[in-house]
Every structure is written in structure tokens, then in C-alpha cells.
Amino acid sequence: MTDGTEALEARLIALRSAFDAAFALPPEPPAGARRGYLGIRLHGAPYALDLGEVASVRKHVPVTPLPSEEAHLLGVAGFGGALAAVYDLGALLGQARGAEPAWFVLVRGAPVAFAFHGLEGQLRADAEEEATSDAGSELEPASDLVWRPGLARPVIRLVALVARLGAVLTENPMEGTASR
């Protein structure tokens, strides 16, 4: 091959890789777009979950306990035909276990659900209502904040918790659904 052909082939490979990589990332929201969050409570404290990480929200899901050394693992439960491991969200964040959680959120793309105590509804936030920590928000489950009038809510990154648990993100048949 000539140098010109090799350079052209290298350029084509780079363009093909960049094209493919663009589809592997979630789409960027338009400038000025509002992000959606789910306002929740854990033992009375306000938090937020990024709706982009949520596949389904349910109330009073029957959980089958499993013998486990992990105190925060509640057991397994069915979510629309998909079986998921259920963890106590408050316990994973270092809170003492108290009353049994009533709400459950299935993580988008993972066979994992988290239980929490109170649902306060959906929140919308503009860029100026969000604050991102400099300390690796993808690795820390609660490093970002959503500011609402008179209240700052830590954003719990469900995907970071799934990674901490060692679960693998996969395609999920429940992806994109949200119900109660």
C-alpha cells in the first residue's frame, strides 16, 4: 500500500469509530432543557433520583427474602416479568435500617431495584438549579445536588450504586416504563 492509501484507510477507520461511538452515548439534552428527577425521602431526608436512570417505580412490591451476609440486600422481586435483586437504598447510603420501605425503583438497564421510604413526585430542574461536585459524580452515589426553592436535594446516582454492588448493566425489558 502507498502512504496515501494507508492515511486514507486510517482516516476512514477513525471516522467509523467516531460515528459508532456517538451512538453508544446517551443523547445530549438540548441547550436550556430541563432534567427530570424523582423526589424521594429516606428516613425523612430529601433526595433526588435522575429519571434517566429509572426504568420503573412501584409501591408495595412483594420481596422474597434471601439468605445473605449483606444487610442491605432485602431479597428478590418481580418487576413486570423481570426478576431483580432488591436493596435498601438508605442502608446502602449508611443510614440505619428503620421502617420497611414502601417504594421501589427498578434501575434502567440492570436487574437491580432499590427500596426507599417516601415518594414526593417528579421534579424538573434547569442547569442553574443543578450543582455538580468536582469529585467524580459518576463514582459517588450522592455527589450532585438539585436546588429547589428552600431545599437542596442530593442526587443519588443509581448507576454508581449498581457499579458499587458489582452488578452488570444490560439491556432491560422494562426500559422506558414508569408505573406505580
Tell me which of 3.10.20.600, 3.40.640.10, 2.40.50.180, 3.40.1260.20 is the CATH number of domain 33-165: 2.40.50.180
Q: Tell me if 103 sits within 8 A of 59, measured CB to CB.
A: yes
- State the 10-residue block means of pLDDT for the chain, 180 residues long: 80 82 60 76 89 94 90 92 92 81 93 94 70 45 65 87 72 42
Measured in degrees and rounded to the nearest 5, phi and psi for residue 175 equal: -55, 130
What pLDDT was estimated at residue 125?
Answer: 76
pTM of the prediction? 0.68
Torsion of CA 38, 178, 32, 162, to 10 degrees: 60
- Residue 122, all three cell numbers: 417528579
Residue-range domain boundaries for the chain:
33-165
Which pLDDT does position 88 carry in this prediction?
93
